[in-house]
Amino acid sequence: MGVLSVRYSERLIMRFGARTLVPPGLAMIALGLILFARSPVDGSYVEHVLPTMLLMGAGAGSCFPALMTLAMSGATRSDAGLASGLVNTSAQVGAALGLAVLATLSATRTEDLIAEGSATAEALNSGYHLAYLVGAGLVLAAIAVAMTVLEPPPEPEAEAEPTHPEPQIAGEPAYSEAG
């Protein structure tokens, strides 16, 4: 995420546009969460964690800078500080609230499974799986919102015909006659 967002995100945004990077970035994050929901209790780091983290990091590294660019694009120079503060505060509050909800879902699921007699590791893994799947569902909802709310970039305008007629010299016809 760090390498992509610091080194390559600006180039990607300049080449493809910020709006274009948001849906694929969110899709990579959702896919990563779905893959995490498939991780077994005795999974290995190289097989079950590393590829998923790389996928999610690439998604976040391409999507988050594009979202910040879009959020700040309408701010005037005098409002840039306020807009930046609102965007960053919203991101922090949203992340804290999301983490609290997902952790509560995970802990409740884990406690329920332990109460039913499941092994602690299996119950904990199942609780995490629930949180990953709910998180993936929320990211999929974010993709739907992004596809609905983000307007496509404006089409480059073709060179328009002049709207004012060419000035005419007195005594010349307004059109030429082939003769």
pLDDT in tens, 9-36: 888 888 888 898 999 999 999 999 999 9
The reply to whether 156 falls in a domain is no
Confidence of residue 80 (pLDDT cuts 50, 70, 90): confident
Question: Of residues 132 and 4, which shows the higher confidence score?
Answer: 132
Q: Render pLDDT for 81-102 as a digit per residue (tens, 0 to 9).
A: 898 899 899 999 999 999 999 9
Question: In this structure, is residue 164 part of a structural domain?
Answer: no
* Alpha-carbon span 137 to 105, nearest angstrom: 14
Per-residue pLDDT, 179 = 47
- List CB contacts of 29: < 8 A, sequence separation 6 or more: 56, 59, 60, 63, 139
Vertex 162, ends 156 and 165: CA angle to 5°? 170
Token pair for residue 153? 């970039």
Q: Is 174 a domain residue?
A: no
Question: In whole angstroms, what is the distance from residue 116 CA to residue 124 CA?
Answer: 13
Residue 65 near residue 9, CB atoms below 8 Å: yes
This prediction's pTM: 0.79
Q: Looking at per-residue confidence, does 157 or 122 come out higher?
A: 122
State the chain's mean pLDDT as an integer: 86
Q: What pLDDT does 27 receive?
A: 97
In a domain, 33, yes or no: yes
Q: How many domains does the chain have?
A: 1
DSSP state of 122: H
Dihedrals phi, psi of 37, to nearest 5 degrees: -70, -10
CA distance 16 to 23: 12
- What percentage of the chain exceeds 70 in pLDDT? 84
- Spatial neighbors of 103 by CB under 8 A, at least 6 apart, are 131
Give the 3-state secondary structure percentages of the chain, helix then strand then coil, rounded to 5.
75, 0, 25
42-51, 70-79, 135-144, 162-171: which range is least confident on average?
162-171
d(CA 24, CA 143): 9
Q: Which residues span the domain enclosing 94?
A: 2-74+84-149
Cβ–Cβ < 8 Å for 21, 61: no
- Cα distance between residue 167 and residue 118, in whole Å: 88
- What tokens appear for 34 in the block? 């779905």
How does residue 76 score in pLDDT terms, banded at 50, 70 and 90?
Answer: confident
- In which band, very low, low, confident or very high, does the pLDDT at 150 lie, cut at 50, 70 and 90? confident
Is pLDDT at 8 greater than 90 in this prediction? Answer: no
| The pLDDT of residue 177 is above 70 | no
Say how far apart CA 57 and CA 137 lie, in whole Å: 18
